[in-house]
Amino acid sequence: MHIDLAGRRALVTGAATGIGRAIALGLAHAGAAVAVKHLGRAAEAEAVVAACGTSSIAIEADVSRAREGERLCATTVASLGGLDILVNNAAVVLVKPFLEITEEEWDRVLATNLKSVFLCCRAALPVMLASDGGCVINVASELGYLGRAQYAPYTAAKGGVITLRRSLAREFAPRVRINGIAPGPTDTPMLASELALTGAHAAETDMPAGRLGRPEEIGSTAVVLASSHASFYHGDMLSPNGGALTR
C-alpha cells in the first residue's frame, strides 16, 4: 500500500521524542510538511525537523494554554501555508497514590493531556473547514479503557480523549475526519521513566505479542489514518497494543 501525503501540512504536538517523534517522521517520510511542536526540547525538536527531510519546522508552545494553542496553529499555517492534519499527542504522566494527588497536579495532567486537545482542535478546525477539510488524530492510551492504580489523572484524561473523538467526529464529519489511536505499552522515554519511578518491569511477556510496541508502529498507524486509505474512518479509535487490550 503506497501512501502519498505530498502537499499536506501537518501539526504534531509532543513531537520531540517518543510516539510524537515517530508520527512526525512517518508523516514527513510520506511527503507531508510537519510542524514539530515541543515544550523545552528545542535540540530534540530540531533533530526531528532535520530527520524529516521536508519543509518542516519546530515550534515551542504550551498547548495547555489557549493563547499558545492559537499561536501554534497560526504559526503552522503561516509557515507551512495551511493545515490539513492535526495530531494531538502531547502528554505528561503522574504516578502517585490517588489520596496524595494535589489539585494542582490533577489540573496540570488534565490540562496537558485533555484540555490541550480541546484547545488545539478549537484553533485548527476553523482552518480545516475553510479549506478542503482535513483530519484530526487524537492519541489516547489503552489505559483510558483499562485504568491503572496510581494513574488516576492520566487515565481520566485519556478516557476523555477517547470519548471526545466520538463527539467531534459526529459534529464535523464528513468534511473533517476525526479519529484516534490508543497505543499499548510502547518503548519510549516516557515509559522508561515510569518504570524507573515505580520500580516495575515492562509487562511485555504478558502480552500476546510478547514484546513492547515500537514508536514507529504507532507512527505508521497515524500515517494510515491521515491518508486517503482511511477515508471511511470517522470517530474510530485504532489500538496498536500487541493484544494487551481486546475490545
Where in the sequence numbering do the catalytic residues fall? 154
β-pair type (85-88, 176-181) = unpaired
Q: Is residue 9 within 8 Å of residue 80, measured between CB atoms?
A: yes
CA 225 – CA 44 distance, rounded (Å): 25
What is the rounded end-to-end Cα distance, in angstroms, of the chain?
26
Torsion sign, CA atoms 225, 227, 229, 230: positive
Three-state secondary structure of 170-229: HHHCCCEEEEEECCCCECCHHHHHHHHHHCCCCCHHHCCCCCCECHHHHHHHHHHHHCHH
